[in-house]
A and B are shown apart, each in its own frame.
Chain A
Amino acid sequence: MSAAFDEQVGDYVLGLLDGADLAAFEAQLDRDPGLAERVAMLRGRMQALDDTVIPADVPSGLWKRIEAELEPTAALAPASRAQMRQQSWLLAASIVIAAGIGFVAGQQFSKPAQPVVIAVLVSDDATPGAIVEAFANNSVHIVPLEAFDVPAGKVLEVWTKPNEEIGAVSLGRFAQSQEIVLDGATLPLPQAGQLYEITLEDAPGSPTGKPTGPILAKGLARSPI
């Protein structure tokens, strides 16, 4: 397993890995300091090529455009408990709506370029079961790596837990193991370390709005650099 990843170091640094290969490699990077060191070494050396550029003129408006986008992060500063409770109510309201449309609207469509976090969900026997990419627009891209058995009358439901106060929130459901983009729920920007999991629920979805069925796979999110 590790030798296969070792062989991919060059492809990774050259930007030739994509999709599930890329996510699996990056997940391994977090677990394997030796692999991370080999990547850092090759990457550091190859960047001598990037450093041969002649710096471009920086357009005067570029910094202003960046600065304008920095505002929303103020909302990410630790909120007071009262604010959190209020947010939870708003969230609860929006989740009801999202849960209503999540199943119908869940379909394959093109996804935004860069996920905010990626989680490799692992099943009980420690095999990777699915990859979740979560985007800033709340959508989540699911790539099953294992064909989950979904009996008639059951659905797969995707959950995340932004923090203890909010608890588990449904991101949507899907009927069979397939690559899919779900609309997700209106939540704070996903963070590294956030829990994602897939459970098996009675159709059309968990009756309580919280996970009730068996967990098929779960994992913690990481941010791509």
Chain B
Amino acid sequence: MSDIRQAITPETLLARVAKAERAALAALFESEAGRLLAVARRIVRRSDLAEEVVQETFVAVWQRAGQFDPARGSARGWLTTMVRNRALNLLRDGGRLEFHDATTLEAMSAREHDAVSAFQTLPDSEGLKHCLEQLDEPKRRAVLLTYVVGMSNGEVAERLAVPLGTAKSWIRRSIAALQECLR
């Protein structure tokens, strides 16, 4: 049974969702929801908000599965992008988030811990890990804090105790170096 399910790729499921097959959306939810909840949770920091993000995402998938373009990446990646975009919107939209505690040292270091452990958990075979290792430690940290947990430039600057302009240029130059290295 589980073998059969694994044989159905998310790409196939998305194609069926595009034909308004509700069972395909349910199967996609079953295989991806846990991962997507955890991705959202790293950014929004609260289970209820992460659930809201995943709920919105699957409703959007139902409406727009037909727009998925396999030439632009995998189906799982498409879902990840949708979840990340919504989670980041929620985070940046401030008003919705009672985020006072996010500015506390404890919450900041929990976010930092998640960001760094994502890097450490990357398999050695992953080219990105090798390329991140090429960056100086604080610059790597700036990229991870921005990407993995969605810190703003200002938060990264505060966390790394550097001026805002320095944080911005570290991130920009590091990403350029990563793009070069990943080529």
Contact = CB atoms under 8 A, between A and B. Distances in A.
Interface residues of B, number: 68
Contacts of A188: none
Contact of B73 (A7, A44, A53): A44
B171 A14 contact: yes
Consensus secondary structure, chain A interface: helix
A43 B38 contact: no
Interface string B24-62: 011001000111011101100001001100111011101
B182 A18 contact: no
B177 to A, nearest CB: 10
A49 B179 contact: no
B135 to A, nearest CB: 13
B74 A44 contact: yes
B152 to A, nearest CB: 8
A56 B62 contact: no
Contacts, number: 142
Interface stretch (B7-15, B82-90, B104-112, B157-165): B82-90
Given A10-B176, A16-B153, A225-B78, A49 B122 contact: yes
B100 interface: no
Consensus secondary structure, chain B interface: helix
B3 to A, nearest CB: 19
B38 A224 contact: no
B37 A56 contact: yes
B85 A10 contact: no
A93 interface: no
A208 interface: no
Interface string B131-150: 00000000000011011101
**Most B Cβ at <10 Å: residue of A53, A62, A63, A65:** A53
A153 interface: no
A50 B179 contact: no
B118 A15 contact: no
A54 B47 CA distance: 14
B29 A15 contact: no
Contacts of A189: 63
A48 B126 contact: yes
B13 to A, nearest CB: 15
Contacts of B56: 114
Contacts of B5: none
Given A10-B171, A49-B122, A66 B95 contact: no
Interface of A: 7, 9-11, 13-16, 18, 36, 38, 40-59, 62-63, 65-67, 69-70, 73, 76-77, 110, 113-114, 189, 192, 223-225
12 contacts: A10-B172, A15-B84, A40-B72, A43-B77, A46-B128, A52-B121, A63-B29, A66-B58, A66-B59, A73-B20, A114-B60, A225-B85
Given A10-B178, A48-B129, A114-B56, 6 more contacts: A43-B73, A45-B182, A49-B148, A50-B39, A54-B38, A70-B22
